[in-house]
Amino acid sequence: MTQSHSQVELDIHPVAGRIGAEVRGVQLGADLSPATFDAIRAALLRHKVLFFRKQDQLDDAAQEAFGKRFGPPVAHPTVPVRDGTQFLLELDSEHGGRANSWHTDVTFDLAYPQVSVLRAVKVPAAGGDTVWANTAAAYEDLPQPLRDLADKLWALHTNDYDYAASRPLPDNEGARRYREIFTSTVYETEHPVVRVHPETGERTLVLGHFVKKLVGYASVDSAHLVALLQGHVHRLENTVRWRWQAGDVAIWDNRATQHYAINDYGDAHRVMRRVTIAGDVPVSVGGQPSRAIKPAPARKDAEGNVAKDAANERKAA
Pairs from 179-186 (Cβ < 8 Å, separation ≥ 24): 179/96, 181/78, 181/79, 181/80, 182/78, 182/79, 183/78, 183/159, 184/78, 185/77, 185/78, 185/295, 186/158, 186/159, 186/160, 186/294, 186/295
User: Which residue among 18, 76, 98, 103 is the active-site one?
Assistant: 103
User: Which residue among 259, 270, 273, 291 is the active-site one?
Assistant: 259
User: Which residue among 119, 234, 273, 274 is the active-site one?
Assistant: 274
User: Which residue among 60, 92, 105, 248 is the active-site one?
Assistant: 105
Coil, strand or helix: which one is 125? coil
Cα 82 to the chain's mean position, in Å? 19
Q: Is residue 224 among the annotated active site residues?
A: no
Helix 219-233 and helix 144-152: axis angle, to 10°? 120
Given a contact cutoff of 8 angstroms between Cβ atoms, the answer to whether 210 and 160 are in contact is: no
Q: Is residue 255 among the annotated active site residues?
A: no
Q: Is residue 259 among the annotated active site residues?
A: yes
Active site residues: 103, 105, 259, 274
